[in-house]
Structure 1
């Protein structure tokens, strides 16, 4: 039976407090597994306004109604309002674990990591990752088993740190997509990452489907993607059985876009998919003869900047 691996990025304080409990309820209702990846430090979402000078930033903001989804207060964190500590949301995070879902690390400070990690050195990278690792242990009482990079941004030191943490699997990059969201390489899937001359032990599970914010508002072959038809467009991409990794966000699918996520879950079950966690997927592939791929970067339709990519 083909699988949809559900990877949930939790970027903000509001997403942790409001979006996460909603997603737990939805997943339980649909008898689906998932992995929640938490940001664990301060919520500096307001600092992301510095990205305004990047190509494609305003186009993405206008398409995806950032203010509507994240809220004015969140967009002021770190600018005109103090940045709240996401790691203080212990009750909400522990409730996810207690509900039977896998929990892992997204990042320490989402905006700082996404905007800086590609060009930072070993000491900076190690400090960011160790802070997140220590906070996770304080909250959950165990060491984290998995990681999913904020903004799909990493560097060679970060990948090495995953091995030092003895993480067996992670989802830090993307598979390449065509303009309609279909895979450029239909065989894209889990792989072992080669950084320089070193092959990492940690298996990478790249996201293979477009995210909602990458599709909403785009005109694809004369079809404008809206909230009313986006689920149908994604379900077309999964019509032919194949294992996929889908990244969703507590701030989107856990709040205003929750009905779309439910439509997807219903559609995937009808298509014969199991919706599972990264841990469950790892158990099914860990003994497989996986390909080795070099560390690469590329841009994807609907998203600004370059990401870690499986080319």
Structure 2
């Protein structure tokens, strides 16, 4: 019974404040996790352009963006210059690795990826991924082995690049179990470990869920473990800050349910990759989140 914790780190503030707090919490519960870092400039303020995206304003209203991210962060890239996360926070990132946690790539420019990747061409996609990969290697001294896409948004060029980069595994999709991805019937030979559970920002403010009861809702979803385990995605800006008490309730509850709290590498090590099924990756909307996401689609015969 494995439950992998995947931590998306989106912002400068989340890196400086949320990441160290999460490391402290995880150590207290003897839990492993994968930290996926945004490695270039924090341009969070430019996300205001999403105001015209269906569902964006509802999500902002539900999740109290200012209280989670802070006013300064919401001005980065507009009225304030965006701080370079990788350059300013390299020591924090290495401390996470040195504490024994798996580290990987989330993005170079978080907002730019989420706003443009779905329609981007091969050249744009390669520039973004190569910038992130080069920064990661400059910080850690080794190439990355895991990638988790911003907003679960990818394109065919990005999937191809993951294969060329020789990644051990990736977590770019939403789904129910590990698989080998197909994009328009093209095999991408990099195992996907999809996020299987809804995130707190997708749940809070919907269907009567609040900070007080959302942990009970998530724990009800994990009461019966699937054979291949779960992947839960959290955010340094949420569970590492204001929602840290909710996260601690989840950790305690999962341990009571009998889960081994691991990282993506631990989940991947437990799999026979040669027997993973192929699944087409499709773009869909999901409740509580704006825009289209990469979702695990139709199944095909077993890999290998």
Asked if structure 1 preserves the Cα contact closer than 8 Å seen for 2:185 and 2:280, the reply is no
Residue 3 of structure 1: CA displacement?
1.0
1:229 to 203, 206, 213: 213
The CA distance in 2 between the partners of 1:192 and 1:211, in whole Å, is 23
Q: Where does the alignment leave 5 or more consecutive residues of structure 1 unmatched? A: 176-187
Map of 2:43 onto structure 1:
44
Residue 173 of structure 1: CA displacement?
0.7
Please give the per-residue CA displacement for 1:218-243, whole angstroms capped at 9, x wherever unaligned: 01xxxx10010000000000011221
1:299 to 285, 288, 292: 285
Map of 1:191 onto structure 2:
179
Please give the per-residue CA displacement for 1:9-35, whole angstroms capped at 9, x wherever unaligned: 000000000000000000000000000
Q: Does 1:151 align with 2:137?
A: no
The CA distance in 1 between the partners of 2:197 and 2:32, in whole Å, is 17
1:210 to 198, 206, 212: 198
Map of 1:284 onto structure 2:
270
SS of 1:5's equivalent in the other structure is strand
Please give the per-residue CA displacement for 1:54-78, whole angstroms capped at 9, x wherever unaligned: 1111111010000000000000000
SS of 2:191's equivalent in the other structure is strand
The CA distance in 2 between the partners of 1:130 and 1:296, in whole Å, is 24
Residue 287 of structure 1: CA displacement?
3.7
The CA distance in 2 between the partners of 1:310 and 1:197, in whole Å, is 13
The number of residues matched between the two structures is 294
The CA distance in 2 between the partners of 1:287 and 1:110, in whole Å, is 30
Please give the per-residue CA displacement for 1:123-174, whole angstroms capped at 9, x wherever unaligned: 1000100000000000000110000000111000000000110002100011
Q: TM-score, normalised to structure 2's length?
A: 0.95
SS of 2:189's equivalent in the other structure is strand
Residue 196 of structure 1: CA displacement?
2.9
The CA distance in 2 between the partners of 1:124 and 1:193, in whole Å, is 22
The CA distance in 1 between the partners of 2:132 and 2:20, in whole Å, is 21
Please give the per-residue CA displacement for 1:224-266, whole angstroms capped at 9, x wherever unaligned: 1001000000000001122110000000000000000000000
SS of 1:100's equivalent in the other structure is coil
Map of 1:257 onto structure 2:
243
Residue 288 of structure 1: CA displacement?
5.0
Asked if structure 2 preserves the Cα contact closer than 8 Å seen for 1:168 and 1:201, the reply is no
Q: Does 1:102 align with 2:91?
A: no
- The 5 Å alignment of 1:1-311 reads 2-88=1-87, 89-175=89-175, 188-219=176-207, 224-242=208-226, 243-311=229-297
Asked if structure 2 preserves the Cα contact closer than 8 Å seen for 1:118 and 1:154, the reply is yes
Q: Where does the alignment leave 5 or more consecutive residues of structure 2 unmatched? A: 298-304
The CA distance in 2 between the partners of 1:8 and 1:297, in whole Å, is 22
SS of 1:203's equivalent in the other structure is coil
The CA distance in 2 between the partners of 1:162 and 1:23, in whole Å, is 27
The CA distance in 2 between the partners of 1:252 and 1:144, in whole Å, is 25
The CA distance in 2 between the partners of 1:99 and 1:153, in whole Å, is 29
The CA distance in 1 between the partners of 2:272 and 2:191, in whole Å, is 8
Give runs of ≥4 in structure 1 deviating > 6 Å. Answer: none
